[in-house]
């Protein structure tokens, strides 16, 4: 179940809460798995949250979280932006959210200047329990990078 406050999304499936910037809207259409919530600014920027199911009962290692974040950024960056371009400013790093192990990954995507504006992809993966790993994915125009980074930085854990 997803609840929506005026400035936060509370995703009770992914057990994450994150900031919803003014003017952004909560998605109302059903989402395909693994996504459970989405917000958009209506001009091509989207943030989705979800969880990875069917994981082993052992908590993933830091390296596994980083690999998962890198995979999500690549896989869903290409899903949401299926255009030829060059990746720039690749980021793959350890993080933590409320003391829980996490990882961040992402990149900029530069297209032929005549084709479209540059894009920005970021993912935050959080290990909540041994078998519960959730994520927040942001994809959209590079002009929204600071908004995306703020949303990911606002992530809080809802007790699983």
- In angstroms, the CA 148 to CA 127 distance is 20
With a cut of 90, say whether residue 159 has pLDDT above it. no
* pLDDT at position 132: 85
What's the CATH code of the domain at 18?
3.40.1000.10
Token reading at 36: 């459970």
pTM for the model:
0.89
Residue 153 structural domain: 2-157
Domain count, the chain: 1
Q: What one-character DSSP code corresponds to residue 9? A: E
2-27 pLDDT, tens digit each: 555 568 999 999 999 999 999 999 88
What are the start-end ranges of the E strands in the chain? 2-4, 8-11, 16-19, 25-26, 35-40, 46-52, 86-97, 100-110, 119-129, 132-141, 156-157
């Amino acid at each position: 179940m997803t609840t929506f406050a005026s400035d936060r999304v509370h995703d009770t499936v992914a057990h994450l809460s994150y900031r919803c910037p003014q003017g952004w809207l909560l998605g109302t259409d059903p989402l395909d798995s693994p996504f459970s919530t989405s917000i958009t600014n209506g001009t091509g920027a989207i943030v989705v949250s979800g969880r990875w199911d069917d994981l082993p009962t052992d908590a993933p290692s830091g390296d596994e979280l980083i690999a998962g974040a890198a995979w999500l950024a690549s896989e869903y960056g290409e899903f949401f932006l299926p255009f030829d371009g060059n990746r720039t400013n690749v980021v793959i790093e350890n993080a933590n959210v409320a003391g829980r192990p996490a990882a961040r990954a992402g990149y900029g995507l530069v297209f032929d200047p005549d084709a479209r504006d540059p894009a920005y992809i970021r993912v935050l993966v959080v290990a909540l329990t041994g078998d519960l790993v959730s994520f927040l994915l942001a994809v959209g125009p590079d002009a929204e990078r600071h908004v995306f980074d703020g949303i990911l930085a606002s992530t809080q854990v809802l007790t699983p």
